[in-house]
Amino acid sequence: MKYRPLMILGSGSDVGKSLMAAGLCRIFRQEGIRVAPFKAQNMALNSFITPEGGEMGRAQVVQAQAAGLTPHVDMNPILLKPSSQVGSQVIVQGKVYGNFSAQEYYRHKPRLVRKVMESYRRLSRAYELIILEGAGSAVELNLKKNDLVNFQMARKAGAAVLLVADIDRGGVFAATIGSFHLLTPGERRLLAGFIINKFRGDPALFTEGERIIEKRTRRPVLGVLPYAPDLVIPEEDSVALGRKHCRGDWSEADCLRIGVVRLPHISNYTDFDPLEQEPGVSLRYLDHRHGLDGVDLLILPGTKNTISDLLYLKETGLFPQIQAYARNGGHLVGICGGYQLLGMEIQDPLGVEGPPRTQKGLGLLPVVTTMAGAKTTTQVQARTPAAGGGGPTIEAYEIHMGVTEPRGQGQPAFEISSRNGMPVSVQDGWVSPDRRVWGTYLHGLFDNDDFRRGFL
């Protein structure tokens, strides 16, 4: 049986669209309906690698899991990964399409729309119900002519639209009634109702608010959902990252203090979500305004522009602070771009990250990185002979555009035994002779419970 598609749009960013879509996927699956998620275009700092080696947004991964499905790139055919203040790497159906500014990207829109609809039609043929998700605010008037993820997608899919608003941040009437009055008549016809998210206290207290919204818009408030701070799902954008900035109470003398350097182009910071949830661990995101005093473990995360972020470390004074931290016996871990930063040198002869250039790294691992044009995207299985996890088999994934070679003492951090299901024997990462500093290209390490707890 086929059902009319349902689309979740928002009055702004970070109002709960992704979680709402995931919840609906789970509910409909429990009702015995074959349901799948879809988001035409996602802009995210974090991504996931599918079993086929395709790259997609993590929100649709969670939604696929809620629907009981293996994630597939058709669920998120376009992924934008910001690599500078004005440009993004564009991933189309799981593979790198190019690096573009906004204006350059818009020139490719006709072809991108075709790719989006290819993916949507494949899903629509395979499943009874599609839950679509929009992006940001549904009424960004200056962006509407180039929209392919909000109401334009709703029209193409013939979807009924639910608009989600976050009452916790205040201004819920402006968010709902204001959004409604900015819609065109055709868009209003698609709007089935509102969902009020993140309500604190007794929802009966908002009964009058529901009546006001319904009177002003002639659309029902279909639900008032509670504020649920303990829901742990992967987050995607800089809005969510901003909330993490000062997390963690470092006044507890017996906790393990972990600092993650908040690089300007940080990516895949979901790597550290399991550490935040680990008992006895306090994790903070640090930038040049914070010192490194009291940090038990310092992590350099992934980045979408390694050389630019290396220059940031040098310009802000973090570069010598990190070097001093290591000299004084501190423990450091570098993940992907963070691993590259730990090395002696980063070479970019092809200009992958900007003009061709070479920059000296932190010099904390005897490795040299050369940026490459081809992007490695694989799911892997590996063992941990040196990185402190006691040797368990782990599942992880790679997303990088560089090759890093050892040039001195130490040993590999991991032995990769499988890539995308195919047997291999490949060394990954490097560990310093004193085992206090190590780096790896593997994302998702700390999702592996045995490894995480053994390492900590």
Q: What tokens appear for 174 in the block? A: 């402006």
The angle that helices 58-66 and 17-30 make with each other, rounded to 10 degrees, is 20
Residue 286: the pLDDT is 92
Residue 386: the pLDDT is 52
Half-sphere exposure of 265 (CA within 13 A, CB side): 24
Q: What tokens appear for 130 in the block? A: 């599609």
Q: What dihedral angle (degrees, nearest 10) is formed by the CA atoms of 408, 413, 417, 421? A: -110
* Residue 188: count of CB within 10 angstroms of its CB: 14
Asked if 132 contacts 90 with a C-beta cutoff of 8 angstroms, the reply is no
Planar angle of CA 95, 88, 144, nearest 5 degrees: 105
- Tell me the backbone φ, ψ of residue 66, rounded to 5 degrees: -65, -30
The identity of residue 299, as a single letter, is I
Element (H, E) at 450: helix 449-455
Q: What tokens appear for 138 in the block? A: 């549904």
Whether 25 is catalytic is no
Residue 83: the pLDDT is 78
Planar angle of CA 152, 52, 118, nearest 5 degrees: 25
Burial of 182 (0-12, 13-18, 19+ CB in 10 A): middle
For 32-114, where are the E strands, in sequence order? 35-38, 41-43, 47-49, 55-57, 78-82, 87-92, 95-101
Whether 245 is catalytic is no
Residue 272: the pLDDT is 95
In sequence order, what are the beta bridge partners of 165? 196
Q: Are strands 367-383 and 345-348 parallel, antiparallel or unpaired?
A: parallel
Q: Are strands 357-360 and 430-431 parallel, antiparallel or unpaired?
A: unpaired
Element (H, E) at 131: strand 129-133
Domains in the chain with CATH codes: 6-226 (3.40.50.300), 245-455 (3.40.50.880)
- Tell me the backbone φ, ψ of residue 93, rounded to 5 degrees: 50, 45
* Residue 218: count of CB within 10 angstroms of its CB: 10
Asked if 292 contacts 298 with a C-beta cutoff of 8 angstroms, the reply is yes
Predicted structure pTM score: 0.84
Of residues 72, 265, 336, 400, which has the active-site annotation? 336
* Residue 27: count of CB within 10 angstroms of its CB: 13
Tens-binned pLDDT, residue by residue, of the chain (456 aa): 999 999 999 999 999 999 999 999 999 999 999 999 999 999 988 899 999 999 999 999 999 999 999 999 999 999 999 877 768 899 999 999 988 888 898 899 999 999 999 999 999 999 999 999 999 999 999 988 889 999 999 999 999 999 999 999 999 999 999 999 999 999 999 999 999 999 999 999 999 999 999 999 999 999 999 998 777 666 665 556 655 544 445 555 578 999 999 999 999 999 999 999 899 999 999 988 888 988 999 999 999 999 999 999 999 999 999 999 999 999 999 999 999 999 999 999 999 888 999 999 999 999 999 998 889 999 999 998 754 445 678 999 999 989 999 999 999 999 999 999 999 999 999 999 999 999 999 999 999 998 999 898
Classify 155 as helix, strand or coil: helix
For 318-453, where are the E strands, in sequence order? 331-335, 345-348, 357-360, 367-383, 393-406, 414-419, 422-428, 430-431, 437-440, 442-443
Task: Give CA–CA dist 14/191, Å, rounded.
Answer: 20
